[in-house]
Structure 1
Amino acid sequence: MLGNRAQVTDCDSLPCDAPGWAPVKTPPSIGPNHPPAEPVRPVPVPPDQRTGEAPTPDSALGDDAVADTAQPTDVGTGSDTIDFGNLDAAAFGLGASLASAGIQSGSFSAAPTMTGDLFGGGVSQVFGTQRVVFGETLQGFILNGQPSGSASALLGFGVGGPPSDIFTTGLGTDTTANTFINEFAILEPVPPSNATTSPGPGFVFEGGTAVFLGPGAFVDGDSWDVQYSYARSIGGLINEPVILAGPDVATRRVKIAENFSPEVRDRAYMNYSYFNNTFGGLGDVNRWVLGLEKILVDDMVSVEFRLPMATTLGSRQDINSPGQRNYELGNLTTIAKVVMLRDERSIWTAGIGVTAPLADDSRLMQGNQTLLRIRNEAVNLMPFAAVLKRLNEDIAVQLYTQVDVDVNGNEISGDLTGGPLPVLGRLRDSTLMHIDASYHHTLLRQSRRETIREVIGNAELHYTGSLENAGVVRGNGLTVTDLAERFDVVNATFSSHWVLGDNVVVTPGMSIPLTTGTNRQFNFEAILQLNYLR
């Protein structure tokens, strides 16, 4: 929608160039649903006291009358009253000259968007012990010439027939107190062997036993129950924990302040962010967000939808070769925004966002077998409030606060031995607080004939902190939690809005972390945002 332009009376009763008369502009309308004021009749203009002559119509109108033929040179002319219901240049006291220069109605000239900063991609760390047990009934043969039933016998067991693949070690014992030797410790099978050896990297042989299955003293060819196991630790002092993408790894946590303004408006937009060297082993991440905002009640209420997607750590990871990357779709976020208060130079907005589970569950796999599953069931409520204040026609500031509460959590089930997956509990994300401030300064204004109508520079400071310790789920030898127990993230963002024509705003920017350790979520974020305004 084009900005309103000051209306000029039709001089039907008196010629507009009659001495002592000048046309007077009609005030702009006060909102998209309000009709313009009635045309104002020509009024007498006293003669110039220095010359004694009546002013010409052009001199009575001033620079505003030629806005379409010259660039504005005096942005201070016009009314000083801001009309947030009809957000154009004239409503902000910039005069009809800027209105004619094509400032967007209800958009960036009056209430520019905050750019944002948050990475928000979620990962969990998994600790535990994975144990793999092998057992089989095998025939045992005495290999060292000892008599049957001797505690000093060396037994060999062939898997699938001779030759022997598994061997006993040490002296046999009587575990049944019937005076007969019935149990031996066994050595780790060594490849090449028909017996199952280590199931993967990091596994350590825990030992095993061969237990005689018959009565009395054993002899060559008797049956034995042979059991042994391998185990590896996940996490702890030696091995790093498995990093598993949380459900909705494309975002997981949503900051509404990204590409956000307190003003309600009709728009479609796209956010792109490149995160360099993100924490938690995710590497470089490319993320896109498609968004749509629609006004439901003029000047008062809008609803917004956001759908993220990213190339990042995949939602399925293999325990033997972690780090697989994939294209991931995120959860859908719906945001309701209500204008609570307007005055001449400020606007206050409040609302709430809700996430709906849409992304894939997270799975830790071993081949085609699921060892751990995190179901995508979390529902987050995100109440927020924002205020924008225009200090003058060139400068505006914004302050934004949001709380993010996971009210449901995600169900976790797992068994590292590869059996059925029992439910271990629900992992709930920590409650977060966001506080964001931005400064906007208009650097360039040009006439409506120019492709680049306006350039606005932005400087922003963003804080995100956890209000409670991270949740932990333990069970079945597993521990699942977040990468950090608590965190306090502070980032600075610098960007510029380029208003192109009547409908398009392009915003390049860069976000830089100001903290270290787990509070530093990336090295830098390169940002590009595109808004199409109605």
Structure 2
Amino acid sequence: MLPLRLLLTFMVTVVGMLFSTTGFAWQSTSVRPSVDFRDDAELTVADDEITLQDKTPAKPKDPPKPPTRPQTPPAPPSRPSIPPVPVPAQPQQPQPQFNPFVNPQPNQPYLARLSRAPDMFGDSFGSFTGLTFADPNTTSPDIKSSEIRLPKPGGPRVFKNEQSRAMPTDRVFGLYHHFQNAYRLETASANVDLFTLGFEKTFLEGNTSIELRMPLSNPVGLSTGVTGQSFQTHAAGDLIVTFKGLVYSDESQAVALGLAVNTPTGSDLNVTVNSVNSFTLKNDAAHLIPFVAYQAALNDDVFFNGFLQFDTPTNANSAQSRSGIGGAIVTNGSVTDQTLMYVDASFGYWLFRDDEAEFLQGLAGVLELHYTTALNRADNVDLTVVEFGATSGRYDVLNLTVGLQANIARNTLLRAAFVTPLTDSRNRFFDSEFSLAVVFQL
């Protein structure tokens, strides 16, 4: 029995050394739990049981490491939340609508220096009707003795550059013009006094406006006893309706486009030649007047106004001649007015300005140039004894205007100007002009 135990002990020792050398753990069903053979272990066999005891003394447990970071104490219990106090809703201010045709910035208010810049004075008279008549002592009607200048049917025309500017304005105004030697017969001339009443009303937040003007002139009658020439006009003029809208504006300049419509509401022109033959030029034609207006405030004291406009007739005026006093109509015809172009420039300077003054709040001086030219030759109608139409064919008129504006109280403007032609007698509509205007800004 003893040799068998020694043999088993020897075999177990050899096998354990082999497994320990190769790194494998040996496991047997008769051994519980599994045992690793190490140098620091002691193997014992007793009663068919093998035990392995560790000879390494037990190491004391390491003390717990203190925490590297101080622990945050628990937060105290939160207070119950207080419901927010309701804030009354503020009334929403109305936002101005954006007009893409006017301003890169929606309806930015214009600075005062642009809105208070004075209007252009103008030099309005329009043009005249020429009449060439035959000498009654000649046997041939083709031999003409003289040319005279007569009013156009409907009287003098008032154009958009007259007492106007690019910026739409709420206003009511009254205008007076005196034209010296505006109409001429062979041996006589006539002056013209023109009165104009009008108003302008803005809409679409002040970016556009409509304006009405009604001119009224003194009835003009002129005759010469030598040749028997005479003509007669009446007071009613042509009603003018103008539409204007801003296409660009900022704090110092504004550009507007517009269209004026000259309606044929005025009187006809009646002419008598040789004391026997009478002629009538009807007021039938409506005129369209498109324009471009520019306005600038160069600084607090200097300002500028500019206009470019065209006067185009839409139809002709009919002409009639009668033979003898109360005679029947002999001939008929028609004559079309010329198309005119107007170029106007106005520079001004504030001589004095005090917005806090009780009476006189400002005084401005203005210097203007006005150029008028015909874009086509005159149309004429031959009525045997007379020939209606412009006598000079085409013409170029240049006038100089010097004006003064006084700002009275808050919204009242008093304006006065003097106009003188810079061209010769064949290229002028009058010898001189004086104008007076009263404007109430609303």
Structure 2 length as normaliser, TM-score? 0.69
Q: Deviations over 1:46-99 (max 9, x none)?
A: xxxxxxxxxxxxxxxxxxxxxxxxxxxxxxxxxxxx99864563xx4xxxxxxx
Deviates more, 1:430-439 or 1:296-305: 296-305
| Aligned match for 1:470, one of 352, 357, 378 | 378
| Aligned match for 2:146, one of 234, 240, 244 | 240
Q: Equivalent residue of 2:290, what SS?
A: strand
- Which aligned pairs between 1:48-67 and structure 2 lie closer than 5 A? none
* Cα distance in 2, alignment partners of residues 322 and 241 from structure 1: 11
Aligned residue-pair number: 338
Change (3 A) 1:450 1:33: farther
Q: Residue 255 of structure 1 corresponds to which residue in structure 2? A: 159
Please report how far the alpha carbon of residue 332 of structure 1 lies from its aligned counterpart in structure 2 after TM superposition. Answer: 0.6
User: 1:353·1:381 contact (CA, 8 Å) conserved in 2?
Assistant: yes
- Match status 1:533 vs 2:408: no
**Cα-Cα RMSD:** 3.2
Q: Equivalent residue of 2:257, what SS?
A: strand
Deviates more, 1:441-450 or 1:472-481: 472-481
User: 1:235·1:241 contact (CA, 8 Å) conserved in 2?
Assistant: no
Q: Equivalent residue of 1:329, what SS?
A: coil
User: 1:247·1:315 contact (CA, 8 Å) conserved in 2?
Assistant: no
Q: Residue 385 of structure 1 corresponds to which residue in structure 2? A: 292
* Cα distance in 2, alignment partners of residues 467 and 375 from structure 1: 23
Q: Residue 117 of structure 1 corresponds to which residue in structure 2? A: 123
User: 1:127·1:234 contact (CA, 8 Å) conserved in 2?
Assistant: no
Please report how far the alpha carbon of residue 324 of structure 1 lies from its aligned counterpart in structure 2 after TM superposition. Answer: 5.5
| Aligned match for 1:267, one of 171, 174, 185 | 171
- Match status 1:522 vs 2:435: no
* Cα distance in 2, alignment partners of residues 114 and 122 from structure 1: 23
5+ residue gaps, structure 1: 1-31, 36-81, 93-105, 130-201, 205-230
Q: Deviations over 1:25-62 (max 9, x none)?
A: xxxxxxx9859xxxxxxxxxxxxxxxxxxxxxxxxxxx
* Cα distance in 2, alignment partners of residues 346 and 454 from structure 1: 21
* Cα distance in 2, alignment partners of residues 413 and 85 from structure 1: 57
Please report how far the alpha carbon of residue 505 of structure 1 lies from its aligned counterpart in structure 2 after TM superposition. Answer: 0.3
Change (3 A) 1:361 1:450: same
Q: Deviations over 1:253-289 (max 9, x none)?
A: 4421010110101111111111122253442221111
| Aligned match for 1:127, one of 126, 133, 141 | 133
User: 1:385·1:402 contact (CA, 8 Å) conserved in 2?
Assistant: yes
Amino acid at match of 1:124: G
User: 1:506·1:530 contact (CA, 8 Å) conserved in 2?
Assistant: yes
| Aligned match for 2:247, one of 325, 340, 345 | 340
Q: Deviations over 1:214-266 (max 9, x none)?
A: xxxxxxxxxxxxxxxxx796971xx33465433112x1x44210101101011
User: 1:234·1:242 contact (CA, 8 Å) conserved in 2?
Assistant: no
Q: Residue 40 of structure 1 corresponds to which residue in structure 2? A: none
- Which aligned pairs between 1:385-424 and structure 2 lie closer than 5 A? 385-416=292-323, 419-422=327-330, 424=332
User: 1:235·1:242 contact (CA, 8 Å) conserved in 2?
Assistant: no
- Match status 1:439 vs 2:347: yes
Change (3 A) 1:279 1:371: closer
Q: Equivalent residue of 1:518, what SS?
A: helix
Q: Deviations over 1:424-450 (max 9, x none)?
A: 322111100000001121111114242
- Which aligned pairs between 1:80-479 and structure 2 lie closer than 5 A? 86-87=109-110, 89=112, 92=113, 107=115, 109=116, 111-120=117-126, 122-128=128-134, 202=136, 236=144, 239-241=145-147, 244-249=150-155, 251=156, 253-278=157-182, 280-281=184-185, 282-311=189-218, 313-314=220-221, 321-323=228-230, 327-365=234-272, 371-416=278-323, 419-422=327-330, 424-476=332-384, 478-479=386-387
User: 1:414·1:422 contact (CA, 8 Å) conserved in 2?
Assistant: yes
Q: Equivalent residue of 2:229, what SS?
A: coil
Q: Equivalent residue of 2:146, what SS?
A: coil
Deviates more, 1:410-419 or 1:508-517: 410-419
Change (3 A) 1:126 1:83: farther
User: 1:266·1:294 contact (CA, 8 Å) conserved in 2?
Assistant: yes
User: 2:323·2:330 contact (CA, 8 Å) conserved in 1?
Assistant: no
Structure 1 length as normaliser, TM-score? 0.57
5+ residue gaps, structure 2: 1-93, 98-104
Find the structure with the greater CA-based Rg: 2
User: 1:398·1:439 contact (CA, 8 Å) conserved in 2?
Assistant: yes
Q: Equivalent residue of 2:389, what SS?
A: strand
